[in-house]
Amino acid sequence: MSSQRVLVTGGAGFIGSHLADLFLDRGYEVLVMDNLLTGRLENIEHLFGREGFTFHKQDVTNHIHISGPLDAILHFASPASPYDYLEYPIQTLKVGSLGTHKALGLAKEKGAKFLLASTSEVYGDPLVHPQPESYWGNVNPIGVRGVYDEAKRFAEALTMAYHRSHGVCTRIVRIFNTYGPRMRLDDGRALPNFMCQALRNDPLTVFGDGSQTRSFCYVADLVEGIFQLLQSEEVSPVNIGNPTEMSILEFARTVIEKTGSQSELVHRDLPSDDPKVRQPDIARAREILGWEPKVSLAEGLELTLPYFRDELARHDSDLSPAR
């Protein structure tokens, strides 16, 4: 067992739990901290009892105490889907500000590396396409999505302030749309919505005319990129995502085809401040980390589909009336 010890805040969430797997598999000791507001114990229950794994149920906006040394802190605690941060706007702002402050303070105390999970949402509804890290964004600070966008923008500013003022060794990853096993069925993002609707043969809900674009990265590619960033010397933000761009309409049709669904498409009004385009410029990730995604959308959907079939069957059986 390596002497390297890492803390993953939000580690019971979708991406955080995959990070916990990766670090354990590579010989690290892993501490997961999560208050389970949007994270789920089901995402990490396979790790309980595994050597080197510890779970702390805690809200990171409160004081964080960890006994012993820490080599790295990966700060992933935050509601991360539109449904979640619209339901928990205050908590989203608090974890981006107070939670980041507490986690950075712990990194300073322990002399640990600090990696912030930022987001492509810092670019808002972008006027530059694709989005390079040098783009400052087009964000509505008082819109309904602003609670997430601005929380992450503030978290980036605070991370850089701790780096400059206190010498904390920091990294910032800007995560673009990611998918894979362990997403919640009620996540509210395009893939869980489309998967659930398609597997039930319900109409797929497309917001607006479906011409808005997204770029979907499989979770295994993402966490590998994050691991490489942590090992690097790069302090400035780095985009990690899949640059293959497609319209939401095209994506919906792809999911229907992959699932063999009989679903049709229905259109609903576009939500407020919904980005019209989203595509990462990953030139810096290629140059600095030697990283680029390896899993195609077709492969990733094949890997993800069994999870959604099983989750949906379990969920729907739980809702069935008792006989």
For the chain, which residues make up each domain, given as ranges?
A: 5-179+218-243+279-294
CA distance 76 to 30: 14
The amino acid at 34: D
| Omega within 30 of 0 (cis) for the link into 130 | yes
CA distance 272 to 145: 8
Is residue 218 annotated as part of the catalytic site, yes or no?
no
Instruction: Provide block-wise average pLDDT over 10 residues at a time, the chain (323 residues).
Output: 85 98 98 97 97 97 95 97 92 98 98 98 95 96 95 98 98 97 92 95 93 95 98 98 95 95 91 85 98 97 96 78 45
The radius of gyration of the chain's CA atoms, rounded to the nearest angstrom, is 19
CA distance 112 to 114: 6
CB half-sphere exposure, 155, CA atoms < 13 A: 37
Q: Which CATH architecture has domain 5-179+218-243+279-294?
A: 3-Layer(aba) Sandwich (3.40)
What pLDDT does residue 77 have? 98
Q: Which of 28, 123, 148, 162 is catalytic?
A: 148
Whole-model pTM?
0.95
Q: Which two tokens stand for residue 63?
A: 């004081």
What pLDDT does residue 315 have? 84
